[in-house]
C-alpha cells in the first residue's frame, strides 16, 4: 500500500553563499501493507514529520522513490499529486485543521465539493459520515463550540468522507486528554478492523504506538529498529 525506497532528504539553511546543508533523512526504506496500522516513532527532530510530508507530497525527496496504492507518486507533478491526495489519502492532524468559519457539516462536506459531487450526494454522504463518528446531532456546530475530542472526530469524518484506502495521521492525540485519547484510539482500531483502512501514524506517545501492528523507530534520520506488536 505504501512503499518507501531509499529515501533521503536534506534542507539548506542560511543565506545564499553562506548556506549549510542539514541532513534530515538518510536512506529510509520500509513498506506498509494493506490493512495495517503502522506507527512511526521518534524524538523531536528525528525526521518523522519530514517523512510524513514527503509521503503526503507536500515536499519532494532529494533521493529515493515513494509508491502508494500502485502509483509512483514521486513522479507526479504538483497538480496530479493534489488529485491523488484527494482520491487516495485522508489526513488527521494534531491541531485538527478545521476551518473555524465552517460548521462541522461544512468541514466534512468540503472534500466532496472539491471532487465535484452533486449537492444531493454531498448532503447524504456527509450526514452518514457524521452519524458514523457519532456527531450528527452536532452538524450545525462550529469548531469553537465542540470539545477537542469532538473536533478530532470531525477531522476523522473529513478524512474518511472520500473513502480513502490510506490515512496519514500526525500526532492525532496530541491535543486530547487521556480519556478522550483512549476513545479515539479505540475508534481508529475499529475503523481499521471494520473498513480495512491502512493507517500510518506519527507519534511520540507509547499508547498510540501500542495500537500499531508494527512500529518503526527513527533516530537522527535513520531507521533504528522495527518492533512488532500484537494489535491491542
What residue ranges do the domains of the chain occupy?
2-228
Q: Please tell me the distance from the alpha carbon of residue 44 to that of residue 54, in angstroms, as a whole number.
A: 17
Q: Please tell me the distance from the alpha carbon of residue 84 to that of residue 178, in angstroms, as a whole number.
A: 34
Q: Please tell me the distance from the alpha carbon of residue 194 to that of residue 51, in angstroms, as a whole number.
A: 28
pTM: 0.85
Q: Please tell me the distance from the alpha carbon of residue 66 to that of residue 31, in angstroms, as a whole number.
A: 10
On whether the CB atoms of residues 74 and 85 are closer than 8 A, the answer is no
Question: Burial level of 153, CB count in 10 A (0-12/13-18/19+)?
Answer: buried
Task: Specify the 3-state DSSP secondary structure of 136.
Answer: helix
Alpha-carbon Rg for the chain, nearest whole angstrom, is 18
- pLDDT 10s per residue in the chain (232 long)? 899 999 999 987 777 767 778 888 999 999 999 999 999 998 887 888 899 999 999 999 999 999 998 999 999 999 999 999 988 999 988 788 899 999 999 999 999 999 999 999 999 999 999 998 889 999 999 999 999 889 989 999 999 998 899 999 998 888 788 888 888 898 899 889 988 999 999 998 888 999 999 999 888 888 875 655 544 4
On whether the CB atoms of residues 179 and 130 are closer than 8 A, the answer is no
Cell numbers found for residue 142? 462550529
* Residue range 2-228, CATH number: 3.40.50.300
CA neighbours within 13 Å on the CB side: how many for 22?
10
Where do we find the cell 481508529? 188
Q: Where are the beta strands (DSSP E) in 69-186?
A: 71-72, 89-93, 166-170
Amino acid at each position: 500500500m505504501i512503499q518507501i525506497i531509499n529515501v533521503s532528504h536534506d534542507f539548506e539553511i542560511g543565506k545564499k553563499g553562506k548556506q549549510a546543508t542539514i541532513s534530515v533523512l538518510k536512506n529510509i526504506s520500509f513498506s506498509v501493507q494493506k490493512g495495517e496500522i503502522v506507527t512511526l516513532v521518534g524524538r523531536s527532530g528525528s525526521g518523522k514529520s519530514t517523512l510524513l510530508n514527503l509521503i503526503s507530497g507536500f515536499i519532494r525527496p532529494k533521493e529515493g522513490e515513494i509508491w502508494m496504492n500502485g502509483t509512483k507518486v514521486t513522479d507526479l507533478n504538483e497538480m496530479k499529486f493534489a488529485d491523488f491526495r484527494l482520491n487516495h489519502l485522508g489526513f488527521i492532524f494534531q491541531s485538527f485543521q478545521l476551518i473555524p468559519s465552517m460548521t462541522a457539516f461544512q468541514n466534512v462536506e468540503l472534500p466532496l465539493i472539491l471532487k465535484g459531487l452533486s449537492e444531493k450526494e454531498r448532503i447524504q454522504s456527509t450526514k452518514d459520515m457524521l452519524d458514523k463518528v457519532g456527531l450528527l446531532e452536532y452538524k450545525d456546530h462550529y469548531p469553537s463550540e465542540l470539545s477537542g475530542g469532538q473536533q478530532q472526530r470531525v477531522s476523522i469524518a473529513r478524512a474518511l468522507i472520500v473513502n480513502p484506502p490510506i490515512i496519514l495521521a500526525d500526532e492525532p492525540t496530541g491535543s486530547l486528554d487521556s480519556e478522550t485519547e483512549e476513545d479515539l484510539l479505540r475508534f481508529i482500531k475499529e475503523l481499521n478492523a471494520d473498513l480495512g483502512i491502512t493507517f500510518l501514524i506519527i507519534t511520540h506517545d507509547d499508547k498510540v504506538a501500542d495500537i500499531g501492528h508494527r512500529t518503526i523507530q527513527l533516530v537522527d534520520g535513520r531507521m533504528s529498529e522495527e518492533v512488532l506488536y500484537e494489535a491491542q
